Amino acid sequence: MLTFRIGGMDCAEEVAVLKRELGPLVGGEERLTFDLMNGTMTVLAPVDPEKIIARVAKMGMSAALAGGEPADEHGGGSWRG
């Protein structure tokens, strides 16, 4: 499991774009979770972080590893789609 801070992700439309573009890379959209309040995305599959970072950059957003903090640490703010 890897958690990324996503710069520029602040609405459901951007989550939908991330799901569509990253889903095939991680083995399906169900392996992605999002926390809009904290601007994080968690990948629940083994994946090369550099591939995620590069793909997110192509979408006009930025991604960086969040240092291992769980995306839903505060509870209730996470959205899984």
Q: Which residues contact 62 (CB under 8 A, 6 or more apart)?
A: 6, 7, 8, 56
For residues 57-64, average pLDDT: 95
Look at residue 71 in the predicted model and tell me its pLDDT. 39
Per CATH, which fold does 2-65 belong to?
A: Alpha-Beta Plaits (3.30.70)
Task: Report d(CA 36, CA 40) in Å as an integer.
Answer: 7
For residues 12-24, average pLDDT: 96
Helices of type H across the chain: 12-26, 49-58
Domain residue spans in the chain?
A: 2-65
Look at residue 67 in the predicted model and tell me its pLDDT. 77
For residues 53-81, average pLDDT: 69
Please state, rounded to an integer, the average pLDDT across all residues of the chain.
86
Binning the chain into helix, strand and coil, the percentages to the nearest 5 are 35, 25, 40
For residues 54-67, average pLDDT: 94
